[in-house]
Amino acid sequence: MDIVVKIDGDGQMDPALISKFIKPVINGDADYTKGNRFWKIESLLQMPFIRKAGNALLSFINKISSGYWNIMDPTNGFTAIHRSALEALPLEKINRGYFFESDMLFRLGTIRAVVRDVPMDSVYGDEKSHLNITKVLFQFSPRYLACYVKRVFYTYFLRDFNIASVELVLGLALVIFGALFGASAWIESSATGELTSTGTVMIAVLPLIIGIQLLLNSLNYDISNIPEIPLQSFVD
Q: Which long-range contacts (CB under 8 A, 24 or more apart) does 140-143 make?
A: 140/58, 140/61, 140/98, 140/99, 140/102, 141/61, 143/95, 143/99, 143/102, 143/103
Position 228 in a domain: no
192 neighbors 236 (Cβ within 8 angstroms) = no
* Whether residue 132 has pLDDT greater than 70: no
Measured between alpha carbons, how far is 157 from 164 in angstroms, rounded to an integer? 10
Residues 19 and 97 in one domain: yes
pLDDT of 150-205, one tens digit each? 999 999 999 899 999 999 999 999 999 999 999 998 898 888 888 888 888 899 99
Measured between alpha carbons, how far is 118 from 33 in angstroms, rounded to an integer? 7
Q: Look up the domain containing 101 and give its range.
A: 3-159
Q: Are strands 32-36 and 115-119 parallel, antiparallel or unpaired?
A: parallel
First to last CA, the chain: 15
Mean pLDDT of 55-75: 89
How many domains does the chain divide into? Answer: 2
Q: Which of 52-56, 89-93, 95-99 has the highest mean pLDDT?
A: 89-93
Residue of 56, 61, 48, 188 whose CA lies nearest to 129? 48
* Whether residue 76 has pLDDT greater than 90: no
Measured between alpha carbons, how far is 23 from 116 in angstroms, rounded to an integer? 11
Instruction: Give helix then strand counts, H and E, for the chain.
Output: 8, 4
**Nearest 10 degrees: CA dihedral of 86, 87, 93, 99?**
0
pTM: 0.84
Contacts of 180 (CB under 8 A, 6+ apart): none
Residues 57 and 168 in one domain: no
Position 110 in a domain: yes
Q: Which of 159, 182, 205 is the last residue of a domain?
A: 159
* Whether residue 131 has pLDDT greater than 70: no
Measured between alpha carbons, how far is 234 from 6 in angstroms, rounded to an integer? 24
Residues 199 and 137 in one domain: no
Beta bridge partners of 115: 32
Q: Which of 124, 159, 194 is the last residue of a domain?
A: 159
